[in-house]
Chains A and B, each alone.
With several copies, the nearest count.
Chain A
Amino acid sequence: MRDAATPPTTLTLVYLARLRETFGTATERLEPPPEVTTVATLRTWLAARGGAWSTELAPARAVRIAVNHELARPDTPLHAGDEVALFPPVTGG
């Protein structure tokens, strides 16, 4: 994901479990606008797509976000090439 052909602002998004089903996609690569610098601003920007995005990513909904396989917080910064995963609270074990 960090190869030379990747523009510096490209993120890989991964949607899991119920979010994958409601969004109808498992993964996408995207180039967010400059104001998307953190996990929280990415979530707000994705919610603005409307429809299922607006519903599932509404502030009141429990959504977990991981950056490069580590659970992130709203203020976790994003960098070019990051893999950002969005998923519901986990239910394993």
Chain B
Amino acid sequence: MPVRVQTTDFDVSAELAALRGADPRVGAVAAFIGTVRDVNDAASVATMTLEHYPGMTEKALAGIVDEAKSRWDIIDALVIHRVGELKPTDQIVLVGVTGAHRGEAFAACEFIIDYLKTRAPFWKKEVTPDGTRWVEPRASDDDAAARWTAPAEPPR
């Protein structure tokens, strides 16, 4: 159940290989990679800085992974999130989930990124031609996270 916050980039192959280990029960790996776009809310983005709340971040991510493991029959899950200065096309976050079957792996992967987007203490500050601004939260992220609560079964 590795959860990491780091300034450096990550290698997707190496991270997913480590997550799978040599476990021959794994039949499915679902993964999500978030990357920096050059446009956000109609403004062009030159660079962004990601800030977090050390101590709480790791606890929040571990809690989200634990919740995913309790909801779905998965084998393991991984979250790596970068902080510091990033530019368009840079990788921001990796979520990887292993399982015997793909349906549970996909659901858990999507759940983890949806919850991370609304519950893990990260904040983005963008540099645009009009100056520096804190990114506003998206209502669509709240909607995505709300899909996973009540009823007990996720909306698949």
Q: Do A and B bind each other?
A: yes
What residues make up the interface of A, taking CB atoms closer than 8 Å to B? 14, 16-18, 62, 64, 66, 69-71, 85, 87-93
In the complex with contacts A91-B136, A92-B81, A70-B59 CB distance below 8 A: yes
Query: Mask for B41-62, Cβ within 8 A of A = 1, else 0?
Result: 0000000001111011001100
Q: Are B120 and A90 in contact (CB under 8 A)?
A: yes
CB distance from B112 to the nearest CB of A (A): 10
In the complex with contacts A87-B121, A90-B117, A90-B123, A17-B134 CB distance below 8 A: yes
Closest residue of A by beta carbon distance from B34? A93
- What is the total of A-B residue contacts with beta carbons within 8 Å? 74
In the complex with contacts A92-B81, A93-B113, A69-B50 CB distance below 8 A: no
Chain B residues touching A, range:
20 to 34
Consensus secondary structure, chain A interface: loop
Q: Are A91 and B55 in contact (CB under 8 A)?
A: no
B55 / chain A contacts, CB cutoff of 8 Å: 69
Closest residue of B by beta carbon distance from A71? B119
Closest residue of B by beta carbon distance from A64? B121
CB distance from A58 to the nearest CB of B (A): 17
